[in-house]
Structure 1
Amino acid sequence: MSARAIMFQGTGSSVGKSLLVAGLARAMLRRDLRVRPFKPQNMSNNAAVTQDGGEIGRAQALQARAAGVAPSVHMNPVLLKPQSEIGSQVVVQGRVVGNARAREYQAMKPSLLPHVLDSFARMRAAADIVLVEGAGSASEVNLRTGDIANMGFAHAADVPVVVIGDIDRGGVIASLVGTHAVLDPADRAMVAGFIVNRMRGDTALFASGMDTIAQRTGWAALGLVPFFPDAHRLPAEDAADLALTRRPGASVRIAVPALPWISNFDDIDPLAAEPGVDLHLVQRGQPLPVCDLVILPGSKATIADLAALRAEGWDIDLYAHHRRGGRVLGLCGGYQMLGRTLADPDGVEGPPATVPGLGLLPVDTVLGGDKRLEDVQGECAGVPFTGYEMHVGRTTGDAAPLLHIDGQPDGAISADGLIAGCYVHGLFAHDAQRAAWLRRLGTDAPPRNHTADVETVLDRLAAHVESHVDVAALLRLAR
């Protein structure tokens, strides 16, 4: 017998679908159900490596964790990784199949539906219930033809829909009633109910609002969910959702330039959670502040982001920071930027080009070849770590290695020990490794258990969602 399934679509992007699905996954796991998350199509540069050797959106990896299972490429069969304002890398069932501009991708979508349904069937075969997350807005009727992310998938897989609205941004009644109004009758019939998310203050004040939405739409009111204050302690799916806690009086100050095509930015989450760290995500138009460490993050368009870094004057700030004795760490794309040259002869990430790097490490990078997607383990300065690599290209040079992976030298560190870079993501999620870096920056705070912290927040999220969403009704509605 196939597992039941229910789909959560939004009135818009960033209404909290991913977090609600994670909370429901943990809540249903605690009811001894086998739960699998599923998102037909995702757009994000924050990706995770799966045990089956591919990549999916980081939100689905978090949802898998909430469900107590290993992430699989079939949890997010189509992943779009933006490389420009109009084009993205297209990843299907974990593997890159090419690049597509927005119009090209619209024509490609019908050919992707069989892959989506194949992955969905695999998830159903392993579960008691599948929690499906839509993408963007359910009301984007201009994109309805060929849709595989929202109502197109719901119809193809015969999955009932719950629509989520975000009251924190205002206009939630109009958003939900308007979604009902613009859906065609067949799509409207797929909707079983609605949830209003991120309520601040007294929920009783919106009781009449819930009644109004139910009366205007005929949809069942399934929950009014208060704002979850610990949301920032879980990995964000989009850079726009990053909400790092500033601690101006902290003993260690770290700056991270918010590059336009920043990727795998959850690398910095474990540092941001440290009570002794003030982590500043520096927005465009702001100078890099005086700090102990600058982290150049991963990038989905490294040459374009390097140009943006220079346009902001952050390269000048970085050189001044180094002259003051400040440390710099480049991760993946940030590592590539620190070298002497950066070449993309085949146009992997944009127009073919070779550009000078920042010249802070004696290495050179050539983009190309197969994408490396692999979990790794090793040691850095004698301290073990686990992490993963997700990159295209090879970096070579005569710098001393920063670390060793399976006994082999990797990464680079400058002669003065202040500039370093590597391809390892998740480096700071390892407690001992994070503590070692913080000691170098002047703090000897005992290491937190990052894994336990995330698990605690997921348990709190599950309790929060269960207190305000009719989970029993969701289970009845699922089919």
Structure 2
Amino acid sequence: EDSLSLEKAKSPSYSGVSKINIEVLYLSHISNFTDFDPLEEEEDVCLRYIGRGERIGNPDLLIIPGSKNTIDDLISLKEMGYEEQILANVEKGTKILGICGGYQMLGREIIDPYHTESSSTRIDGLNLIDAVTVLEKTKITSQVKAHLEKNPFFPSKGEVEGYEIHTGRTRLSRGIYPFFRITERFSQPVDIEDGAIDDEGRIFGTYIHGIFDNQVFRRDFLNYLRQTKGLSPYFSYQKVSFREQREREYDKLASLVRKNLDMKKIYKIMGL
């Protein structure tokens, strides 16, 4: 099922708009790859997944996605020579975005004191952000609301909605900008820094899945990439956001299920 969805994403549509080239590393234990579905809908984005053994191209943005086993995927990534390719691309100006497990990989090291993911107690990260992640026994799983923290690279107004599903906490060193500030978790108000941006606006990381579902943030981030590429901003705000469009499709599916199944019998089986 995962591979079918990824194959679909390898065939971007083309228009006369100057493109941003985005590549996503297809990790062995990739998770939550639907994070990138909204990027497929953008006219100025060419999205490509890097399959196992394929070389990274020359993207404007390289995304390291979430992983069901971060340490195992990081070891595999290094063994296959991707660490050298990533660092070489950064030197050439490629921006890097790590989401969840991908964010953890960007730091100096990942410590696994309880061996929740492997027999190793620690592993060196890619050292693109001065940060250390410690994996914990308890997994955080929650819908969240957040806003972009003030940074010198690009503005974005309004609230971002998404979700967290991860073990571990990442501790930043001084001088690293947090990417977001979480204002609501478990439907309760909180004040929690999330993610990181390096001091040159090249490396980004966050624990929040679904950030590209947020239309305003998505376009502001893409226009930042356009700006660094020497392209003028592009505005393609849709009347219906990707999130709303997806919810409508879910509603259609739910309606179809209700029409074609004996829901009373199903509820009875479920004890409802």
Task: With the length of structure 1 as denominator, give the TM-score of the two structures.
Answer: 0.46
Alignment of 1:63-462 (within 5 A): 238-242=2-6, 243-244=8-9, 245-247=11-13, 251-380=19-148, 381-383=155-157, 384-398=159-173, 399-406=176-183, 407-442=191-226, 443-448=233-238, 449-458=241-250
Q: Give the partner amino acid of 2:50.
A: V
Instruction: Give me the whole-angstrom Cα distance separating, in 1, the residues matched to 2:34 and 2:249.
Output: 16
Change (3 A) 1:325 1:456: same
Q: Give unpaired runs (5+ residues) of structure 2.
A: 149-154, 184-190, 227-232, 267-272
Q: Is the 8 A contact 2:114 2:137 kept in 1?
A: no
Identity of aligned residues (%): 35
**Residues 140-173 of structure 1: per-residue CA shift (max 9 Å, x gap):** xxxxxxxxxxxxxxxxxxxxxxxxxxxxxxxxxx
The match for 2:270 is none
Q: Give the partner amino acid of 2:35.
A: D
Instruction: Give me the whole-angstrom Cα distance separating, in 2, the residues matched to 1:299 and 1:476.
Output: 36
Q: Give the partner amino acid of 1:343.
A: I
Per the TM alignment, residue 458 of structure 1 is displaced from its structure 2 partner at its CA by: 4.7
Change (3 A) 1:451 1:397: closer
**Residues 236-276 of structure 1: per-residue CA shift (max 9 Å, x gap):** xx355332132466611110010000111111111122222
Q: Is the 8 A contact 2:111 2:122 kept in 1?
A: yes
**Residues 172-203 of structure 1: per-residue CA shift (max 9 Å, x gap):** xxxxxxxxxxxxxxxxxxxxxxxxxxxxxxxx
Task: With the length of structure 2 as denominator, give the TM-score of the two structures.
Answer: 0.79
Instruction: Give me the whole-angstrom Cα distance separating, in 1, the residues matched to 2:178 and 2:24.
Output: 23
Instruction: Give me the whole-angstrom Cα distance separating, in 2, the residues matched to 1:333 and 1:239.
Output: 19
Runs of 4+ in 1 over 3 A off after TM superposition: 247-250, 455-463, 474-479
The match for 1:108 is none
Alignment of 1:455-474 (within 5 A): 455-458=247-250, 474=261
* Bigger mean CA offset, 243-252 vs 330-339: 243-252
Q: Is the 8 A contact 2:142 2:163 kept in 1?
A: yes
Q: Give the partner amino acid of 2:63.
A: I
The match for 1:117 is none
Q: Give the partner amino acid of 2:170.
A: T
**Residues 197-242 of structure 1: per-residue CA shift (max 9 Å, x gap):** xxxxxxxxxxxxxxxxxxxxxxxxxxxxxxxxxxxxxxxxx35533
**Residues 402-422 of structure 1: per-residue CA shift (max 9 Å, x gap):** 121225432111111100111
Q: Is the 8 A contact 2:62 2:95 kept in 1?
A: yes
The match for 2:229 is none
Q: CA RMSD in A?
A: 2.5
- Count of aligned pairs between the two proteins: 237
Change (3 A) 1:345 1:477: closer
